């Protein structure tokens, strides 16, 4: 049994549905700048092919702010997302993608296990896995690394460790993914230097 399964009720209490009001598309400019920064990297490395076969998944996407910016640039792609509270997340999603996105109201710990190789071309983790404990995050990363194997994996994570705050921050070590991926980009966020961005590409 995972740490998540043991503490499921406590985790859901920590991330109440109202949390999506703070982080969805209708959030502060600061968070929109984070989304724009990720989009800049995606465009710089020409990660996305704007065709109907290209699939992007964002784990813990909330109101899909990042995916809205991506969809504005690449309107032909398929979008997938998950979060604990589907109804509240979609209330905070921009109307332009609300009916397009394939949204799963499930926690990442269980949601991710239903997918296999070639399901996605790009997976994004932006400020999400930092809130998940070390054991479950390792399991999520291992499934992405060894089973799903997207061509690209884009991470926005934190440089500090504070697992005991009301909304926990976990400084994760993503080195396990290097068995199948190469890190092709790493930078501190221009928006907040406590955060970093890494881009991984599947090895040939």
pLDDT above 60: residue 6: no
Roughly what angle, to the nearest 10 degrees, separates helices 65-73 and 29-44? Answer: 40
pLDDT above 80: residue 136: yes
pTM to 2 decimals? 0.91
pLDDT above 80: residue 2: no
Distance CA 100, CA 3 (A): 33
Domain boundaries, the chain: 3-171
Q: What is the pLDDT of residues 56-109, one digit of tens each?
A: 999 999 999 999 999 999 999 999 999 988 999 999 999 999 999 999 999 999
- The CA distances from residue 82 to 41, 160, 203, in Å, are 22, 25, 26
Rg, C-alpha atoms of the chain: 16
Mean pLDDT of all residues belonging to the chain:
90
Which one has a higher pLDDT value, 154 or 14? 154
Mean per-residue pLDDT, 14-43: 83
Mean per-residue pLDDT, 44-60: 97
Q: What is the pLDDT of residues 147-184, one digit of tens each?
A: 999 999 999 999 999 887 778 899 999 999 999 999 99
Q: Please tell me the predicted confidence (pLDDT) of residue 3.
A: 43
The 8-class DSSP code of residue 146 comes to I
Distance CA 153, CA 43 (A): 14
Q: What is the CATH number of domain 3-171?
A: 3.40.50.150
pLDDT above 70: residue 14: no
Distance CA 159, CA 19 (A): 23
């Amino acid at each position: 049994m995972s740490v998540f399964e043991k503490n499921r009720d406590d985790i859901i209490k920590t991330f109440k549905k109202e949390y999506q009001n703070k982080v969805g598309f209708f959030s502060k400019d600061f968070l929109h700048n984070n989304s724009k920064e990720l989009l800049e990297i995606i465009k710089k490395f020409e990660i996305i092919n704007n065709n109907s076969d290209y699939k992007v998944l964002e784990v813990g996407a909330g109101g899909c702010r990042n995916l809205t910016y991506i969809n504005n640039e690449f309107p032909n792609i398929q979008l997938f997302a998950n979060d604990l509270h589907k109804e509240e997340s979609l209330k905070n999603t921009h109307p332009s993608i609300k009916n397009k996105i394939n949204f799963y109201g499930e926690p990442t710990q269980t949601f991710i296990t239903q997918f296999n190789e070639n399901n996605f071309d790009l997976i994004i983790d932006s400020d999400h896995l930092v809130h998940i404990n070390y054991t479950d995050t390792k399991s999520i990363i291992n499934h992405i690394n060894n089973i799903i194997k997207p061509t690209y994996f884009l991470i926005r994570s934190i440089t500090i460790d504070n697992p005991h705050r009301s909304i926990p921050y976990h400084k994760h070590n993503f080195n396990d993914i290097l068995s199948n991926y190469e890190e092709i980009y790493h930078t501190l966020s221009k928006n907040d230097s406590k955060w970093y961005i890494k881009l991984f590409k599947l090895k040939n």
